[in-house]
Amino acid sequence: MIRRAATYALIAAFSFATTPSFACTGISLNAKDGAMIRGRTMEFGFPLSSNVIVIPAGTAMNGTLPDGKKGIGYITRYAMAGANAVGQTVILDGLNDQGLSFGLFYFPGFAEYPDVTADNAAHAMAPFEFGAWVLGNFATVDELKAGLADGVVVNTLAPGFGSIPSHYFVRDKTGKSIVIEPLGGTLKVFDAPLGVVTNAPAYDWHLTNLRNYVNLSVTGVPPLDLDGLKLSQLGQGAGMHGLPGDFTPPSRFIRAVAFTQAELPSATADDAVLSAFHILNRFDIPRGSVRDKTDGGLELTQWTT
């Protein structure tokens, strides 16, 4: 009963926060010394009170069905550490001892979860339980792809509250990255070679939208002569004119790609971490900059990792 009440408390925290919602941004950088860096911001309209937790290898874990009963049961093969929410044993963003990293990102309006059936109940878990399952059972992206069918993410919720639409970014120590999205009742995998993720819509839409910004360049624009009137750029950065600056997921995705692709290679892991934080600072939401029109709720950056 205590476990069920705690699960409902977590669902309530997520559900109250859906307006406004997650506006998280994830990026990846590689260092010359071989280090693979992944970073993200966490935006939320409800205090998550996140802490870093450690789940050892050999820990017994269970998924939760919409009716509160147990779903999938497993013993973690790998130890993991990551950020939780409201004191619960869940991983919103974390890393296991094999170098596999995981991040949960909000995915409103597009997540389509399957119904629980007699056939899938023993494999089912809540959206917020998916991170621990991934990090506890897999060492690489390829392993996860091969074993993904063993897990089912279902629309677990508490009475009176909504669902938790989410998609997931996973990267391993080789730099291979994927985005996993619940679409049409199944988990669909997209390769993510650019190592960037935001929120809705579906990941392949974001990749297509990049084609609207192929004109962007880190180099300046040469002077222009219009019938003898010579015009030159007013300052450096004109090559990025048209880079979207708002906080919507499509705009943040474009900025994240632009900044990570423009970033000069770092020599070491420590240097790459500093570079990642500098980039992620460009996605911080100051208090009051994003508000809900109906209830005045605020969305702001709670933490960056």
Q: In the chain, count H helices and then E strands.
A: 6, 17
CA distances from 214 to 26, 34, 281 (A): 21, 29, 24
DSSP symbol at 268: S
Give me Rg for the CA atoms of the chain: 21
List all residues 6 or more positions away from 204 whose beta carbon is below 8 Å from its beta carbon.
190
Q: Which residues are catalytic?
A: 24
List all residues 6 or more positions away from 144 whose beta carbon is below 8 Å from its beta carbon.
100, 134, 138, 170, 178
First-to-final CA distance of the chain: 33
Question: Three-state SS for 37?
Answer: strand
Burial class of residue 286, CB neighbours in 10 A (0-12, 13-18, 19+)? exposed
User: Tokens 């002077």 correspond to what residue?
Assistant: 223
What is the spatial distance between Cα 243 and Cα 256, in angstroms, rounded to a whole number? 11
Q: Taking the C-alpha atoms of 178, 179, 183 and 185 in order, what is their torsion angle to the nearest 10 degrees?
A: 70
